[in-house]
Every structure is written in C-alpha cells, then in structure tokens.
Chain A
Amino acid sequence: MGALDGLMQGFQVAFSLQGIMFVLIGVVTGTLIGMMPGLGPISAIAIMIPVTYGMDPSTALVMMAGVYYGAVFGGSTSSILLNAPGISGTVATAFDGYPMAQRGEAGKALAIAAISSFTGGTVSVVLLMLFAPALAQVAVSFGPPQYFALMFLGLTAISSLSEGSTIKALISATLGFIAATIGMDAQTGTTRFTFGTPNLIEGIDFLVIALGLFAIAEVCFLIINRKDKSLSKQSDIGNLKLSKEDLKEMKGPMTRQSFLGFILGVLPGAGATIASFIGYITEKRIAKKPEEFGKGSVRGVAAPETANNAATSGAFVPLLSLGIPGSGTTAVMLGAFLVLGIQPGPLLVQDRPEVFWGIIASMYIGNVFLLILNLPLIPYIAKILKISRPMLISLVIIFSLIGVYSISFSTFDLYLLLIFGVIGYLMRLFSFPAAPFILAFILGGMMEQALRQALTASGGNLAILVSDPISISLLIVSALSFVVPLIRIRKKDVTQD
C-alpha cells in the first residue's frame, strides 16, 4: 500500500466525527495541562492513559497524539508571559518571548509562538510521513561517539549566548556542567557531591534550575520595580496581528527550523529541548542583526517554537517505525500503545495501517486545531499580565513552587529552588548570563555519559571520537561555529577602519 492510500485511510479514521472530537479533546486537554506548572507532555500523556481504557485503539492514539503536541504548545505560554518555563523544551522561548511581553507585545509573542508551532508541526508531519522508515535506520546508527559530537556542537553555542563577556558566559556554563555532575554516576554507581543526603542521589531536577534561575530570579527584579510606573506598559497585551515585516522575519527561521528540529527530534535522546536550543542558536548565528536576540526578537521566538514542535513529530519516527522510544515522553507514549494492545515497530504499518496512518493524519488535523483554538484564546491567556504586580509576584512564586513539588514531591527540592533563585539573582546582578548555565546543565550530563561510554568501548582510545563520518562532520561544524563568528567580527572591524 502506498503512502497516499495509507494517508487516505488515515484521514478516514481521523476525519470521522469521533476522530475529530477526540483530536479536539486531546489538543485542548494537552494545552491546558501543558500550561500547568511543572506538567509537560510526559505527565499529560500519563494522566490521559487511564481515560483511554476501553476505547478503540486508533481513536485513543489519535487523541494521545493531540495531547502530546497540545502540551508542548501549552508550555510556551508561561515561558513568554512569566519567564517561567514549565518544561525544558520551552526554555529557549523565554529568551526572546519574555522581553517581547515586557515591551507590551505579549499578544504578538504568543501569536508568533502559535504560528511557528503550527508550521513546525505541519512541516515535520509531512517529513515524518515521507522519511520515517529511512530516518529510523540512521538514528539507530547513532552511538556514543556521535552523541558526544552532537552535544559538543550544542555546547559550542555558549559563546553566542553570552551578552558581553565571553569569560563570564564560559564560567556560567562550567558551573552549569558542575551542577549536572551532582548525583549518582550512571556508569559506576559512585555518588558524587551528594554530601551524604539521599535527596541528591538522583541529581538536581532540571525544573528546579530552570524555575530558580529564570522565574524566581525574575521575581526579585519584579519586586524591585513593582512600583515603577514606566513598566506599566508591560501589562499591555498589544496587538495580536502580525505585520508583513514580522511574517517575513518569521519565514526564514520557520522553514529552516522545521527541518532541523525534525531531524534532531528523530535522534533518540536529543528531542525538543536540544532542538529548541540549537534552533535558537543557529538563527542567532546566521541573523543579520544578532544583537536583537535576547531583547525580544521575532526570530528568537519563532525559531525555538518551530523547532520544538518539529522535534515532537520527529520523536515519533523511531517510535512508530522501530518501536524504540527516543525520549521520556515517547516512552510513556509507548506505554499508551501497549496498554491498548498495539506493538509499534516495523510491522505496525502492515499489521495496523489504520493506527499508523490515523496518527499521522491526526497530526495534521491536530495542528490546525491548535492554531484555530489558540489564536482567539491569546487575549484571554495574556490577561495574566493585567494582574496587579504584587499579586502577580505571589502567584508566580506559588506557580514555581508547585511546579517543582508536583514532580518531586519533596520539600528538599523546594529549598533547592530557593537557593537557585538566589544564585540566579546574583548571576544577573553581576552580569553572568543564565542561559549558558542551563544549556550546559542539560547537555553536560548527556555529554559526559556519551564520552565515557565511547571511551569505555574503545578502552580509553580517543580515536573513537573521530572514527566515522557523522561524528567528524559534527565536530567540524562545531569548530566552524566557533571560528566563523570570529572571522565575521574581524571583517566588520576591517570595513569599519
């Protein structure tokens, strides 16, 4: 059966009244759960699994797919409005989304996020349909050396995330990497830097650091400026409509990041977080005015939002075609499949074509729903900013605390959150950028594991890191991404002279 026939069959499943209804339910609940503090796609899917008991498998999975990308989209709202990213995939969205909201353009930022998410999601579904089986093979060939090279590429981005002093950015990144070394080592079982407390054995949770460095640190500044009249502009939502220039700005990042995000999403372990960071950084690198990034750039919102949604569909590639979950979220998704008695893998297309194509078709519809539902809702969502400043401060604090508590159920992590809030505030006071810290924290742990796995396999021989074309080319790109900006600066100097 060809892809087109299959898709037709899939649309029959998804376009039935029942199908549409459940996609709608999935997208709406996903978005709502995603907006909740600390709850991302993983929790959203896990929460919805019991709901699907006894449902027809293809309808149930169509709904689950809706929950998945609804949750990814929902997470970006708190990033943009409150600088409080609820999940790791939307941290990069806060870099430019929050400054934009502060400028009084919250509506525009949310609209950009909605449209970019839609584009990223739709383009990547097409790619998923066309390339799923072929890409899955490539993804499987990714071993520790290739992962090391990929993470290394991500880390070279740090120099471009700095605002001013590169040394400070590098120090910030080193500290982030150090934070990632806390906890039990996955390979030897050694507990590192836990000071004997069992609370640190599993390491520090990502959310503690993200909410501490971003949300709680921001609260300190909100407190200082709570009576500042000049900031009343912030409570403006601004016009929702995007100008032609805005759309033109978005076009480039949206096209590029749909593809890049999808590819990164296919790789097991990379996923939406890394895709959004790399998307943000590449766009900053190639932008004509990189200095606008971090201050509310249209491209800076469009890039990570496109990339994380594209990666979301990308993550379905290994799941659907090989039965291998590449991320925590798709692992829970796999659980949902199994609960319904469906074994994803190479045989899925043959055995249960209506499920395979139904999910893909539902993704098209789900993305359209997401856009139709969310654009009109934006003014209401953005009303959060109209809340009086002192009240907003209290609510953001509670939002962050509950976010952390609902994933760890320990007050120890809440104290940690407070500590990271202080660290984040001090870092901003002394102009140490927080973005490299969090990037190194996310990538550092994975990079260390990949490096040591590779070296263990080779018996300590470093040559394994450059033993195949994929890792060599990734390392070359990393090196280039360090060198090219330097050349650019040189050129600028020459022309200025």
Chain B
Amino acid sequence: MPPKWRFRKADPSLANSKSFMKVMHVLKTMNQKISVFLILFGIGYLYLSYNLKEYPYVPVDSDLVPKALGYLLVGLAVLLFFDKSSETEEQKKKRSVPKKELMVILAVGGMIFLYIFLFEIVGFLIATALFIFFCSWFLGYNRWVSNLLVSLIFPSVLYYLFNYLLQIRLPQGILPF
C-alpha cells in the first residue's frame, strides 16, 4: 500500500494535461477499438450459443434468443466501428483519468477483493471493521479517533441488526458471537 502523501503531492493539472494528450491521440480509433472487442465478444457468445443442447420437438429452443442476441451485438458493433459521430468535450474529459488516481482505484479494488476473500473466513465483524478503517485511511481520512469509532460501531450495529433482529445470518467467522 503506497503511503498517501505520494499521490497527494502530484500536481493534478500536470497529470491531467498529459493523459489528456494521450487520450486525444488514441481517440480516433477508440470507438473502433471497442467495436473490435465487442465483435470478438459477440462471436464467442455465438459460439457458445451454437453449442447449447438442443431438444427435439421443441418449437422454440433455448438457443433461439441467444443466437439472435449474438448476431444483434455483432451487427451493432460493426455499426459502431463506422460510427462517425464524435464525442462531446465533456465525454472526452471524463476519460482522462490521471494514472495515479487509477492506481488508487485499483488499490481500493484490491482491498474489496481481499475483503470478500476474508469475509467468510474471519467473519463479517472483523473483516468489515478492518476494511472501513484501512480504506478510509488510505483515501485520506486522517481523524484517527472517529475512524476507529466508526469502524467499530458501524459493523457492530449492522451485525446486531442483521443477525439478531432480522434473522439474516452474516458470517460469524472466528468470533464466538
């Protein structure tokens, strides 16, 4: 986990303009790139659809709709490939995400992954408390006491509500309650 000052110090305007240029460069083919990906996806889906089990004496089998959807997707992707309509400035801007921010998103994604992995092993209470505490701290929440309080109280209240009042069992994990 990188210490938080590293991306704090970065000049956001610089990062923005750099990646913006890059995006501009690629943009001409962006729709086409997506389109190629979608066509490949559509072909894969069609391949699977054609391999679905067929039953005799069924007027419309379970492969009818998937096949139609596969062709529809490929057709639409081809249209997208030749689509000339350009994006608005606002839409282009949305895509210029500074690399460092992308790393932050990936790191949070990694934390979620770890959380899910540990969820049923160590239990809801511990996993959630750790997640809230570290995720908030990582994103720049530096009021230690309130962070600690929230990450202890919030999961406890939720756990009590779900397990005891609503009778919806969240994993108890290694704790005895």
Contacts and interface: CB of A to CB of B under 8 A. Distances in A.
A224 B105 contact: yes
B13 interface: no
Contact of A171 (B80, B88, B91): B80
A227 B139 CA distance: 10
A418 B139 contact: no
Given A452-B64, A460-B59, A431 B91 contact: yes
B104 A171 contact: no
A220 B107 CA distance: 11
Contact of A456 (B58, B139, B155): B58
Contact of B135 (A39, A393, A414): A393
Interface string A449-477: 00110011001100000000000000000
B139 A394 contact: yes
B121 to A, nearest CB: 10
A337 to B, nearest CB: 21
Interface in B91-136: 91, 94-95, 97, 101, 104-105, 108-109, 112-113, 115-117, 119-120, 128, 131-132, 135-136
B139 A226 contact: yes
Contact of A174 (B59, B69, B108, B168): B69
B76 A398 contact: no
B95 to A, nearest CB: 5
A203 B124 CA distance: 25
B132 A414 contact: no
Contact of A390 (B80, B128, B140): B140
Given A406-B168, A430-B95, A394 B135 contact: yes
Contacts of A219: 108
A141 B32 CA distance: 48
Nearest to B90: A431
A236 interface: no
A304 to B, nearest CB: 25
A483 interface: no
Nearest to B81: A167
B80 A168 contact: yes
B158 A402 contact: yes
A197 to B, nearest CB: 14
Interface residues of A, number: 60
A456 B60 contact: yes
A90 B10 CA distance: 40
Interface in A397-456: 397-398, 401-402, 405-406, 409, 411, 414-415, 418, 421-422, 425, 428-431, 448, 451-452, 455-456
Contacts, number: 160
B116 A178 contact: no
B87 interface: yes
A33 interface: yes
B36 interface: no
Contacts of B147: 391
A330 B57 CA distance: 36
B152 interface: no
Interface string A297-328: 00000000000000000000000000000000
Interface stretch (A188-196, A348-356, A376-384): A188-196
B52 A190 contact: yes
A293 B148 CA distance: 41
A187 B60 CA distance: 10
A219 B112 CA distance: 12
B158 A188 contact: no
A164 interface: yes
Contacts of A411: 116-117, 119-120
B30 interface: yes
Nearest to A222: B139
A175 B115 CA distance: 28
A205 interface: no
A223 B91 CA distance: 18
A332 to B, nearest CB: 15
7 contacts: A167-B83, A181-B66, A190-B62, A192-B52, A406-B162, A414-B116, A431-B91
Given A164-B87, A171-B76, A398-B154, 4 more contacts: A167-B83, A170-B76, A390-B141, A397-B135
